[in-house]
Amino acid sequence: MAKPHSYREFWPFYVREHMKSTTRMLHFIGTTGVIVIAAAAIVTRNAWLLLAMPLCGYGFAWASHALIERNKPATFSHPFWSLMGDFHMYGLMLTGRMAAEVTHHGTGPRLADPTP
């Protein structure tokens, strides 16, 4: 795959890197944790809590890639688009539409890392 030039081009790669439902669920747990920590930091006015956000979000995500999906997190090649993908996937999971994305984009061989 050539290097994507837009998030729209990146999304199918992102979906293929999250084919296993357990991987997606661990991302969902991590992203939920990030949202809860952000809310707690606002409510308690404790900015130190914000330091826990990447530990929670990336901890669950990277563990899922290492232990379940057995691939390299997209964060390493496209950090901003990967973060967008996490929240995009989170929204689709909340609304029950992520399975359709996996079916739509997940057919065929898994794509190579989109870096040149």
50-104 pLDDT, tens digit each: 999 999 999 999 999 999 999 999 999 899 999 999 999 999 999 999 999 999 9
Separation in Å, CA 59 to CA 8, 55, 67, 91, 104: 26, 5, 12, 20, 28
Measured between alpha carbons, how far is 2 from 4 in angstroms, rounded to an integer?
A: 6
Q: How confident is the model at residue 108 (pLDDT cuts 50, 70, 90)?
A: low
pTM of the model: 0.89
Is the pLDDT at 111 greater than 90? The verdict is no
10 falls within a domain = no
11 falls within a domain = no
Chain-centroid distance, C-alpha 106: 15
72 falls within a domain = yes
In terms of residue numbers, what domain contains 92? 22-105
17 falls within a domain = no
Is the pLDDT at 21 greater than 50? The verdict is yes
Mark 38-72 as b/e (b = at least 16 C-beta within 10 Å). eeebeeeeeeebeebbeebbbebbbebbeebbebe
115 falls within a domain = no
56 falls within a domain = yes
Helix or strand (DSSP H, E) at 87? helix 79-94
- Give the chain's domain count: 1
Per-residue pLDDT, 17:
94
30 falls within a domain = yes
